Amino acid sequence: MSHGPALAPDGTTDARRPRAVGASRRTGWAMVLTGAVGWLASFQLTVDDWRLLRDPGYRPACNLSPVVSCGSVMSSPQGSVFGFPNMLLGLGAFAAVTALGVTVLCGARLPRRLWLALDAGALVGVAFAHWLIGQSLYELNKLCPYCAVVWIVTIGLFWYVTLHCLEQGVVPAPRGLLEVVRDTHWMLLVTWYAVIALLVLTRFWPYWSSLL
């Protein structure tokens, strides 16, 4: 005699567990906006890097001062961690995110494994971005504006993709934690950005104060 379908670890039946997961328009727009802005920033960095290779005397438009500068950051070892310019990673990754975001806004339901892969990739991107933040502030002593844009959108992408995965059960989490994160997601993200802004402000305070 059958005792019914087996329960999955999250308490649902295997038959009821969706193989594809839809997403809210919030998640779709977050993917499209962060992907598009990140791609544009990566593209501009790529163009400037190419021009610097052709003409070492070229001065990128983002070289605004001895502190706020892109050129010296791009030409540093930290600018080519894997043997090629970091911005090439951004060109490919952000293009893929934008395309997936468009499909989500069109109502597509992406496979669970794809959501997991996207969230894992965003996590790697956030970890790499924070390493670059540390290198920029405390090793290179420079602040690259376009790089900062990439940091911002990478964090936002990770935050909202992770929130979606938690809400849809793609990534398991205790109900209490999920409710707290869901209710305060924007405050937590603003706090995250504020901590980074505070680090930038205090690290280069003599320069900022000289502008006042």
> Shortest CA distance to 22 belongs to which of 168, 171, 179?
168
> Shortest CA distance to 32 belongs to which of 81, 76, 94, 98?
98
> Shortest CA distance to 153 belongs to which of 27, 32, 28, 34?
34
| Residues of the chain predicted below pLDDT 50 | 1-17
pLDDT recorded at residue 3: 46
Whether 82 and 127 have beta carbons less than 8 Å apart is answered as: no
Q: Where are the domains of the chain?
A: 22-204
CATH architecture of 22-204: Up-down Bundle (1.20)
* pLDDT tens digits, one per residue of 123-148: 999 999 999 999 999 999 999 999 99
Residues in CB range of 136: below 8 A, 6 or more apart: 73, 78, 142, 143, 144, 147
SS3 192: helix
21's enclosing H/E stretch is: strand 20-21
Q: At 87, list the tokens.
A: 């911005």
Q: At 166, list the tokens.
A: 């938690």
- Tell me the chain's radius of gyration from C-alpha atoms: 21
Q: At 34, list the tokens.
A: 């962060």
State how far the Cα of 175 lies from the Cα of 133, in Å rounded to an integer: 33
Q: Which residues pair with 68 in a beta bridge?
A: 143
Whether 46 and 38 have beta carbons less than 8 Å apart is answered as: no
State how far the Cα of 76 lies from the Cα of 120, in Å rounded to an integer: 27
* pLDDT tens digits, one per residue of 119-128: 999 999 999 9
For residues 197, 203, 205 and 211, what is the CA-based torsion angle, rounded to 10 degrees? Answer: -70
